[in-house]
Amino acid sequence: MSSIIENTTWDFVIIGAGPSGSAAAINLASKGKSVLLIDKSSFPRDKVCGCCLNEKSLRLLDSLGVLNKVMEQVSSKLENLSLTIANKNFNIPLSGNGLAVSRILLDELLITQAIKNGTTFLPSTKVKINTQLANTEFRSIKIEGGNNLEIKSRFIILATGLSNPKIFIDPEEQKQFKTYISKNSHIGVGAKVDCDSINIKNNEIKMYVNKEGYVGITRLEDGNIDLAGAISAHKDESLKGQVLIKDTISKILPNNIFKNKNDFQNIVWQGTPLLTRESKLNISKVFLIGDANRYVEPFTGQGISWALESGVMISEYLENTLTSSSINQKNWKRVLKKTQGNEMLKCNIIKHSLRYPKTTSKILSYVLKIPNSTHYLTTLFGHGMATNKDMKIP
């Protein structure tokens, strides 16, 4: 395998096998391109994720040939959002075309489809990107470890999530990989708990919001429960890690949410870096997609839809231009912003509104009195964004 990988001149090397990287690999390999998909993690792996797939995500999964496999594993669609803001509850009907799916399952299905389409997959592999090879159209990637393999590729796609890794060998190129984090950005948190820990229906999302942040709760395909949210980055230096997260979450969730109070104390939480951010890169032959490019604090499923969409779009942007000198990261960001900018703006509005939960609660009480307002709220929350209204998710 190692000799094949090293001796192949790849059209695309994709670093990061989450939804965006795998989606790009699926599409590019289906067009007959040689694709190497690399991830530093071993699989299966779990991630901090709300695990909600909205209608847009399902349509993208359908285009990637994965939706039917997802539907074989998931029996219930998301039909209701129980939203509690500043202790006032609102029940908002959803489109019924959303699902709750664990990242372990979603990533597995996407990677399997990418391999089926002809992608070569290397998990548990760390790499560094070298400078462009002299007098060629290729860049080289070095695999870290004892084998010291060097790979040649026409294009490199970074789908490395929120980590902004030190991935370039040349220090000057690494300096060009810049990330700008939004002021007052929250951190992401997530955990899984046993199926009997919380009363929640298979077809609903429960969301709790206060000035500390918000936490969403859904039941996954295996019956277990996913908790995920965005919480304030605490300024109290005495609170760190699990203590910080549990202290903050305990102020957001109601006291009686868990059937057994010990269940909450026994949870092991995962965290993320600060969420709302944008990265910039101006390096030949290298492109950013998914969270690595731009991320806005999502609410109920927008994050995965943006990741899948950017993976699909980058393949369309690059597949027929392997030798073109006119394509670059700057133009790619412009294309992506034109498509996703309005949705990210909506999430930014939601994000800022939720920083003032009492005011938002009062406004929402008024809005819900307006006829047909739930339709617009459903769209705003990302669960009414059909691109083909005649299509029904199976």
Domains in the chain and their CATH numbers?
2-182+275-380 (3.50.50.60)
Q: Which amino acid, 37?
A: L
Question: 312-336, pLDDT tens digit by residue?
Answer: 999 888 875 555 556 788 889 988 9
- pLDDT at site 392: 42
pTM of the prediction? 0.91
Q: Determine the length of the chain.
A: 394
Q: Is 20 a residue whose pLDDT tops 80?
A: yes
Q: Kindly state the average pLDDT of the residues 101-105.
A: 94
Tell me the backbone φ, ψ of residue 87, rounded to 5 degrees: 70, 10
- DSSP code of residue 144: P
Structural contact between residues 230 and 216, judged by C-beta atoms closer than 8 angstroms: no
Structural contact between residues 335 and 317, judged by C-beta atoms closer than 8 angstroms: yes
Q: Which amino acid, 49?
A: C
* Mean pLDDT for the chain overall: 86
Structural contact between residues 374 and 94, judged by C-beta atoms closer than 8 angstroms: no
Residue 64: both structure tokens together: 């990637």
Question: 182-228, pLDDT tens digit by residue?
Answer: 988 999 999 999 878 899 988 999 999 999 999 999 999 989 999 99
Structural contact between residues 327 and 321, judged by C-beta atoms closer than 8 angstroms: yes
Q: Kindly state the average pLDDT of the residues 147-153.
A: 82
Structural contact between residues 153 and 139, judged by C-beta atoms closer than 8 angstroms: yes
Residue 240: both structure tokens together: 């760190």
Confidence of residue 63 (pLDDT cuts 50, 70, 90): very high
Q: Between 302-318 and 55-63, two packed helices, what is the crossing angle to 10 degrees? A: 30
Q: Between 329-354 and 357-367, two packed helices, what is the crossing angle to 10 degrees? A: 90
Question: 36-49, pLDDT tens digit by residue?
Answer: 999 999 988 888 88
Give which of 106, 183, 162 is closest to 290, Cα–Cα: 162
- pLDDT at site 385: 43
Question: 249-277, pLDDT tens digit by residue?
Answer: 999 999 889 888 788 888 889 888 899 99
- pLDDT at site 386: 39
How far is the first Cα of the chain from the last one, in angstroms, to the nearest whole number?
A: 39
